[in-house]
Amino acid sequence: MKFKKTFSDLLVNPKRTFLVVFALILGIWGVGTVFVSNFILTKDLNTNYQRTRPAQVIFHSAKFDELNLQQFIDLPEVETAELRDFSLHRIEVYPNVWIPLWLFGVEDFEKINVAQVFQETGNKIPEAGTLLVERDGKKVSNIDTGKEPRIRVGGKILTVKVSGICFDPAQAPATQDAFIYAYTDMKTYSQITGLPNNQRLIVRLNNVHNEADVKKISDILANELDAKGITISSVEIPRFNEHPHQWQLNTLLFLIGTIGLLAFIMGAVLVSQLMKSVMASQVRQIGILKAIGGTQRQVFQIYVAMLVLMGLSAGVVAVPLSVASGNAFSYFVAGKLNFNILTTTLPHSVYAGLMAASVLLPILLSFSILLKGTRISVKEALSDYGISQNVAQREFGFLKKLSLSNSLILAIRNSLRNSKRLTITILAMALGVAIFSTGFNVRQSLWNLLSGLKNEMRYDVQVALNNPISKEDAMQWFKSLDNVKEVETWVGGRGEIQSKVISTDKGAGIIALPCDTKLLQLRINKGRWISKSADFKVVLNQQAMAVYKNPALGSTLTLTVGNKNVNAKLVGVTEQFERAKIYVDLEQFDAIFNPDHLVNTLIFVARENDYSKVIELKKEIEKSISKSDLHVLYVMSQAERVKIIYDHLNIILTSIVLLSFLVLVVSAIGMASATGINIMERTREIGVMRAIGATPKKIYSLFVMEGMITSWLSIVFGLLISWPLSKLAAVFFGNLMLGKEAILQSAFSLSGFLITFAVTILFGWMASRIPAKSAIDVPTHKALSYE
């Protein structure tokens, strides 16, 4: 019977019950989605990556022919090792569009045991003279099994057949970096490239737990190899056990974590508010239950049973929803980051955990309210004097002085009458507003960074050569270009691939350029730009600062390039979305490292520089190159570079705005429910107002006015909160995306502000409109008898 009461109580006020269940669904859904996608993604990206058995250290040497590989593998430090040729070329992805080709030569596809690739379609092992292409490349090209794309190796062009598509989840996705990864056997590799085999040894180590361990052991190994006459020219240590785009996943997980937490808080606040209102309306009944002999425990049980029922029904909806949305999000991210979702079924414990949370959370959230509500004494519950309502009965005299209309005064007083709830509502909504507008501001910061990039790089097309040649040899091919205003020649250059061509022993790329160049105007955060001087001065970007352990301005660093050293003075630090780079005056660089004044980067400035003209110029340059014998690494237009960076950030930018919008919706729902509770509690009052002649329209506008007051207050508070929040977020995302120490300049997005403003007012209006509408639909006699 007790539980019959529970059940029928739930049905007595179906709207309120629905609201509670809805709030629960919201909360559980939020937390559940985060939980499920976290569960899947963190595990699966790493599993995908580890499944390839990625190399932990890579040695380069021209003398690996002399290495007894088996003996090397038998060393206690070495788990396993393989020779894996690698070189960079170019591949035609669409007619006259060329992008970098990462070509790998594999020792033995049958026994591949380090940096594995997996068969997708076509051949597992490429037939002699053919390639396997990594699957994400299909998204940026028309290359597929059976096609014969053109490849440019050094100065010559050849066609190679693609005999299969494979999957290599250890690589940064082709879609973001605009690379094609291809794999072939060693013989074909040297046939295509004309390069010697066995220059590169990829190794997995035993008993290493972090990058420092790897560093230590690889130093030992390099020394041992050197001692055997196998001179190691360079050692590469990839990030330890981490996918190259792990940072994107981390950012995304953090984002949805925040949203999930917010949805949860919002749901929690709602549930406890609703339970409070339920308890308030049940006071008299609690009194009766006790008068006829019910103990507090028995009465408590009734309401706990009520919560269990609501929790269960919320769980039934929210758990599958969470699993669905968590899965959907995981697949979305996996698609973007090019890895496979391996978790096909979630363990039962995940379902059980979510379900248990659905049932337990509402009880925990309302425990104190229930305890308080059921503790009330019979006398208090039944007394004609009523229990003292927690209602502010103050006059708010200042309102009178403002000569407002009576109904506005009533609206304001009504808003203030449950000040605790009002505070919670406004805080929740303000938080939504703050996050929404912070989302826009962070987006603006990133945009500023991108447009800053455009400002920094005042050239249009960059041609990067494989190896340095004389300026005259390089320039002769481009004499006839029409739309060219200016050309500069540099050594080294921007982007990842250039770092591979010329970099210090620590892996920071070199960019040697005339210090008075007009074509690169970097934003200097600390210190100043390089200038003509007698000594070797450098500007480092933030990433290079990290590589060199954050030296102080004015200090001296030893740079090693090839087999030469120089002591360089750090004069400035610049902030970039880039690999680690070191900027140095070309004359200084040539004096020490480049006595023959060779160049490997041509910088073109177009006369007419709108997008189509630049792309046109780029095609012209490509045509000139195809007639030449230049060994070209890549040709990239500035516009494309910005696009590539944008593509890296896009997934995050989009998620930020989308998710912030979700937060706002959630808080609007929260507000609607709070208004709903408010109105529900005042149903009798509405009846009275109508009995004394208020038209439904008057009552309706009264509630909408109340809603507007809440929205306005939320906007004000929200924007106040968003200011410091945006600053924090800029620092956070800067660190996450640009590397430690990097600071993303916080920015204010006007359009974001206007959108936030409009959306909040609209939501506030809807949030009060809907419950107000349903309130005036209650007939007067019912409203008057409402308990």
Ligand X SMILES: Nc1ncnc2c1ncn2[C@@H]1O[C@H](COP(=O)(O)OP(=O)(O)OP(=O)(O)O)[C@@H](O)[C@H]1O
Positions touching another protein (CB under 8 A) are 1-2, 4-5, 8-9, 11-12, 284-285, 288-298, 375, 377-379, 382, 787
- The DSSP symbol for 67 reads -
Q: CA 531, 534, 535, 540: dihedral to nearest 10 degrees?
A: 10
With b meaning 16 or more CB within 10 Å and e meaning fewer, what string describes 172-201? bbbbbbbbbbbbbbbebbbebbebebbbbb
Selection from another protein, ligand X, none that 1 binds (CB < 5 to 8 A by kind) is another protein
The least CB distance from residue 289 to another protein, in Å, is 7
The least CB distance from residue 393 to ligand X, in Å, is 17
Selection from another protein, ligand X, none that 12 binds (CB < 5 to 8 A by kind) is another protein
Q: C-alpha distances in angstroms, 180 versus 101, 408, 491, 614, 629?
A: 5, 66, 25, 23, 22
- Contact predicate 310/10, CB 8 Å: yes
The least CB distance from residue 785 to ligand X, in Å, is 22
- Contact predicate 645/453, CB 8 Å: yes
Selection from ligand X, another protein, none that 5 binds (CB < 5 to 8 A by kind) is another protein
Q: C-alpha distances in angstroms, 197 versus 89, 107, 237?
A: 16, 9, 21
The span from the CA of 625 to the CA of 307, in Å, is: 73
Selection from another protein, ligand X, none that 294 binds (CB < 5 to 8 A by kind) is another protein
Nearer to ligand X, 379 or 740 (CB): 379
Nearer to another protein, 375 or 532 (CB): 375
Cβ within 8 Å of residue 353, ≥6 positions away: 35
The span from the CA of 769 to the CA of 654, in Å, is: 31
Nearest to 30 by CA among 326, 284, 302, 456: 326
Nearest to 628 by CA among 469, 468, 467, 474: 474
Selection from another protein, ligand X, none that 288 binds (CB < 5 to 8 A by kind) is another protein
Cβ within 8 Å of residue 682, ≥6 positions away: 414, 775
Selection from another protein, ligand X, none that 378 binds (CB < 5 to 8 A by kind) is another protein
Nearest to 649 by CA among 336, 354, 349: 336
Beta-ladder partners of 57: 203
The least CB distance from residue 385 to ligand X, in Å, is 5
Cβ within 8 Å of residue 390, ≥6 positions away: 418, 420
Q: CA 442, 444, 447, 452: dihedral to nearest 10 degrees?
A: -100
The least CB distance from residue 785 to another protein, in Å, is 9
The least CB distance from residue 698 to ligand X, in Å, is 36
Binding-site ranges for ligand X (CB under 6 A): 383, 385
Selection from ligand X, another protein, none that 751 binds (CB < 5 to 8 A by kind) is none
Which DSSP helix (H) or strand (E) runs through 761? Answer: helix 750-776
Nearer to ligand X, 74 or 384 (CB): 384
Selection from ligand X, another protein, none that 398 binds (CB < 5 to 8 A by kind) is none
Q: What is the 3-state secondary structure (H, E, C) of 152-202?
A: EECCEEEECEEEEEEECCCCCCHHHHCCEEEEEEHHHHHHHHCCCCCCEEE
Nearer to ligand X, 388 or 405 (CB): 388
The least CB distance from residue 384 to ligand X, in Å, is 7
Nearer to ligand X, 77 or 380 (CB): 380
Nearer to another protein, 291 or 391 (CB): 291
350 burial (CB, 10 Å; 0-12 / 13-18 / 19+) is buried
Selection from ligand X, another protein, none that 227 binds (CB < 5 to 8 A by kind) is none
Nearer to another protein, 156 or 379 (CB): 379
The least CB distance from residue 288 to another protein, in Å, is 5
The least CB distance from residue 379 to another protein, in Å, is 5
The least CB distance from residue 724 to another protein, in Å, is 43
The span from the CA of 655 to the CA of 251, in Å, is: 10
The least CB distance from residue 781 to another protein, in Å, is 13
Selection from another protein, ligand X, none that 787 binds (CB < 5 to 8 A by kind) is another protein
The span from the CA of 104 to the CA of 184, in Å, is: 6
Helix, strand, coil share of the chain (percent; to 5): 55, 20, 25
Nearer to ligand X, 383 or 451 (CB): 383
Nearer to another protein, 286 or 433 (CB): 286
The span from the CA of 339 to the CA of 21, in Å, is: 37
Q: What is the DSSP string of 649-701?
A: HHHHHHHHHHHHHHHHHHHHHHHHHHHHHHHHHTHHHHHHHHHTT--HHHHHH
Selection from ligand X, another protein, none that 382 binds (CB < 5 to 8 A by kind) is another protein
Selection from another protein, ligand X, none that 296 binds (CB < 5 to 8 A by kind) is another protein
Nearest to 260 by CA among 38, 30, 41, 29: 30
Nearer to another protein, 585 or 681 (CB): 681
The least CB distance from residue 386 to another protein, in Å, is 14
Nearer to another protein, 186 or 283 (CB): 283
Selection from another protein, ligand X, none that 780 binds (CB < 5 to 8 A by kind) is none
Nearer to ligand X, 96 or 383 (CB): 383
The least CB distance from residue 382 to another protein, in Å, is 7
Nearer to ligand X, 385 or 398 (CB): 385
509 burial (CB, 10 Å; 0-12 / 13-18 / 19+) is buried
- For the record, the structure tokens of 11 come out as 């049905």
Selection from another protein, ligand X, none that 552 binds (CB < 5 to 8 A by kind) is none
Which DSSP helix (H) or strand (E) runs through 121? Answer: strand 118-122
Tell me the residue number closest to ligand X, measured at CB: 385
Phi first, then psi, for residue 23 (nearest 5°) are: -60, -40
The least CB distance from residue 369 to ligand X, in Å, is 24
The span from the CA of 568 to the CA of 572, in Å, is: 12
The least CB distance from residue 287 to ligand X, in Å, is 14
Nearest to 425 by CA among 313, 543, 307, 277: 277
Nearer to another protein, 7 or 254 (CB): 7
The least CB distance from residue 334 to another protein, in Å, is 50
Nearest to 361 by CA among 15, 32, 39: 32
Nearer to another protein, 376 or 669 (CB): 376
Selection from another protein, ligand X, none that 298 binds (CB < 5 to 8 A by kind) is another protein
Nearer to ligand X, 383 or 550 (CB): 383
Selection from ligand X, another protein, none that 53 binds (CB < 5 to 8 A by kind) is none
Nearest to 618 by CA among 634, 637, 631, 591: 637
